């Protein structure tokens, strides 16, 4: 991530989504730790070693930053028209066949490091640990939904059904 993008993200999270400094961590260091951890698939013990903080402190700050990032995602990942009343101009020539179509849906597996106790749950059919993620993009190539948090061993249809329930 470029420094300017990092500063902009930091400012957005501080001003609009509640990211704060604490006695143990500045907001800049907390965001840096979070992005390094998720961007390079680090476990919390590795974050603890790198940032020289206790596991409890790392866990707490990671959770705080995650809540701010999730709040930011809720504000950004949304369709232009939440009720889907209009047909996208790219689909008008195919009316009525694609009326009501809101975008494209796909799933993928994201590699993760997990505790040994959870290893079997997160091992996918290819044999490596992952999270099963589903996303929807509108016809302007913007994400309107991202469903995360399902273990890699979970079938894609279960992820889809859970996304429908949201």
pLDDT digit string, tens, across residues 21-34: 988 889 999 999 99
pLDDT number for residue 50? 93
Q: How confident is the model at residue 158 (pLDDT cuts 50, 70, 90)?
A: confident
CA–CA distance, 37 with 48 (Å, rounded to integer): 10
Cα 52 off chain centre by: 26
79 pLDDT tier (thresholds 50, 70, 90): confident
Tokens of 93: 């020539």
HSE of 4, CA atoms in CB hemisphere, 13 A:
0
Helices (H), the chain: 3-17, 27-39, 44-51, 55-76, 119-122, 156-165
Average pLDDT rounded to a whole number, residues 47-56: 93
Q: Is 132 exposed, middle or buried (0-12, 13-18, 19+ CB in 10 A)?
A: buried
Percentage of the chain beyond pLDDT 90 is 38
- The predicted pLDDT at position 165 comes to 79
């Amino acid at each position: 991530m470029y420094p300017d993008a990092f500063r902009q993200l930091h400012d957005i999270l501080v001003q609009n989504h509640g990211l704060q400094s604490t006695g143990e961590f500045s907001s800049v260091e907390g965001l840096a730790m979070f992005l390094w951890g998720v961007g390079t698939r680090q476990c919390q013990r590795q974050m603890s070693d790198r940032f020289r903080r206790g596991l409890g402190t790392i866990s707490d700050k990671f959770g705080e930053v995650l809540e701010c990032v999730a709040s930011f995602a809720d504000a950004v990942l949304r369709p232009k028209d939440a009720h889907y009343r209009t047909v996208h101009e790219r689909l008008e020539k195919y009316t009525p066949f694609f009326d009501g179509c809101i975008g494209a849906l796909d799933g993928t597996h994201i590699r993760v490091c997990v505790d040994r106790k959870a290893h079997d749950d997160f091992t996918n059919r290819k044999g490596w640990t992952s999270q099963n993620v589903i996303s929807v993009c509108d016809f302007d190539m913007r994400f309107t939904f991202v469903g995360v948090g399902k273990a890699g061993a979970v079938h894609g249809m279960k992820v889809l059904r859970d996304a429908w329930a949201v």
